[in-house]
Chains A and B, each alone.
Chain A
Amino acid sequence: MINPKPLFEERMRRLLPEESDFADFSKKIHEYPLNFIRCNTLKISPDELRQKLEEKNWKISQPFSGRQEIMLIESKLLPGEIGKAIEHLLGYYYVQEVSSMMPAFALEPKPGEFVLDLCASPGSKTTQIAALMENSGAIIANDRAVDRIISLCSNLERCAVGNTIVTKEDAIFLCQEMGSINLEFDKILVDVPCSGEGNIRSNPKTLITWSIGAIRQLSDLQKKIAISASALLKKGGTMVYSTCTHAPEENEEVVSYLAQKKGLVIEKASLPLKSRHGIKEWGKSSFVEGIENACRIYPQDNDCEGFFVAKLKKE
């Protein structure tokens, strides 16, 4: 078991001031995450998939009514078994932790819309968005990292996503390019690179690499990316900003900056997971009105990974 650095612990205690809550968090982050998958409704219905998986003697539950595509594999499986199952290779499901499904639910993409997924690799959310759009409209899915673009493309193929255009650019540069040809989007997802404090369960090494310096640097980058993206949002359009971290510098601070600079309104997203309000202040900073509408997803609340999701509207 890797012990958290003292500063990480101190900051998490400030976010979770109740002793029992902090204790639950500290315990949960050392537990192996549950095995969630998302049914790829572009290829198969949740009922059909469940039946197939149950025929393999996998115990499956669908914990969220109205979101049947979210499936939990309750059986103990061998390492790698979920990835090499024929149903996975056929593209019937995508292995995705439940909290990572929340940004796309908050975005609510509709068939026919024009959507930008600015930091898209390896494509968990792009494939989910395409399924919600029933493969119609169009998605521009971008990422800067060559190796990750390869995974993105192969996941798009496996899931039979046919409405997506993939680009490999720096997000800020791409937004400038698209702005210069007056492209505007109905929906924009900005799932930025982050310090990953929410992913400790699946990636405990985050506790070793964690540093406050990295958080500061990431926060600056996230602000630049989010501001660039917001310029491409249609009037009436929705932008979702998300991270898999708890650090307020990467969450409320970025959203607050964005909302103030661009006059975007922070709306409450309706999510199937329990979430807590965005915090109103952190250290010397106090955040924009409406920030409490942002959603903080904690591992101890849902037996999931940690996430942050903010839904912003251009009025």
Chain B
Amino acid sequence: MKIRFLTKGKKKELLRNLEKNFGIEKPDFLFFETIRDIRIFTGSVSKEDLGILVKNLQIQTMGLFFARREGGELRLSLDATHLLSKKIKKNILEISSVQKERWMNCESIEIEKSLKGIFIVKNKEDFMGTGKALNGKLFNFLPKERRTGNY
């Protein structure tokens, strides 16, 4: 795994994006990027010590998949929405319990036509990742292994 810590500029941009889109303030993680994704390390090891490990060990993966940037959009992972559940304040789309079943089966669900863009999906107190609202539908990015239909 190629690991690059986010530069100061990129980190600033990410934090701004998180705050602007989801109201998330000061997430306390170490951010790094792989080719497509932003990952986080939640541990309490300094960046320097992590750097030594990264340099000397053949690392398969590190930390947690946090978000994917695609076409200028930032899609938080399902697990990132769980870790940040208390900090997410904006662009939350509540779905019903019936919709939740369909969402977990990776179906897109009907929503108000006026909604557009990336939303954090929630049913009651459960955060369920990110979806994209377009033309009255909420599209789903759940990874295969997290869908009910696939189990």
Binding site for B on A (CB under 8 A): 42-43, 48, 80, 83-84, 86, 89-91, 111-112, 114, 135-140, 149, 153-154, 156-158, 160-169, 174, 177-178, 181, 183
Contact = CB atoms under 8 A, between A and B. Distances in A.
B64 A181 contact: no
A interface, over-half SS = mixed
A170 B22 CA distance: 43
Contact of B57 (A90, A111, A114, A178): A178
B149 to A, nearest CB: 9
B62 A166 contact: yes
Contacts of B63: 162-165
Tier of interface size on chain B: 35 or more
Contact of A135 (B42, B100, B101, B146): B42
**What 4 A-B pairs are tightest by C-beta distance, nearest first?**
A162-B42, A163-B43, A84-B151, A162-B64
A165 to B, nearest CB: 5
B60 A162 contact: no
Given A153-B60, A177-B56, A43 B43 contact: no
6 contacts: A43-B82, A84-B148, A156-B64, A162-B42, A166-B61, A177-B57
Nearest to B125: A48
Contacts of B29: 162
Contact of B41 (A160, A162, A166, A168): A162
A169 B41 CA distance: 21
B64 A161 contact: yes
Contact of B100 (A86, A149, A161, A162): A86
Interface of B: 29, 40-45, 50, 52-53, 56-65, 77-79, 82-83, 100-101, 104, 125-126, 128, 145-148, 151
A163 B104 contact: no
Nearest to A134: B42
Q: Which of A153, A163, A165 has the most CB of B within 10 A?
A: A165
Q: Which of B56, B59, B60, B77 has the most CB of A within 10 A?
A: B60
Contacts of A158: 79, 145-146
Contacts of B145: 154, 158
Given A43-B82, A164-B62, A166-B61, A83 B45 contact: no
A307 to B, nearest CB: 27
Given A90-B82, A90-B126, A154-B145, A163 B58 contact: no
